[in-house]
Amino acid sequence: IVIHGLPFSYELNQLNDMVRSVGKVLEADIKRDRATGRSRGWATVLYDNPDTANKAIEVRLNGTTPECV
């Protein structure tokens, strides 16, 4: 899934804590600006199965906007 609306100050450990509250995460990555290294405010998350990804979308992780891609 793609999660939009993350605070620019979010660190990977914070993202992991948030997305792991829903289920098993295979991969999570905050997208960063190549020139500055600053967060771009969105991340990708790969869950272990589609049902877990759908659950993440339903619970709207901490007010962010997850979507299937």
pLDDT tens profile 21-40: 899 999 999 999 999 999 99
Q: What is the pTM of this model?
A: 0.82
Non-local (6+) Cβ contacts of 52 within 8 A are 22, 23, 24
Which sign does the torsion angle of CA 7, 13, 17, 22 carry? Answer: positive
| Residue ranges for the chain with pLDDT beneath 70 | 61-69
Q: Please, are residues 43 and 30 in contact by the beta-carbon 8 Å criterion?
A: yes
Q: Please, are residues 61 and 1 in contact by the beta-carbon 8 Å criterion?
A: no
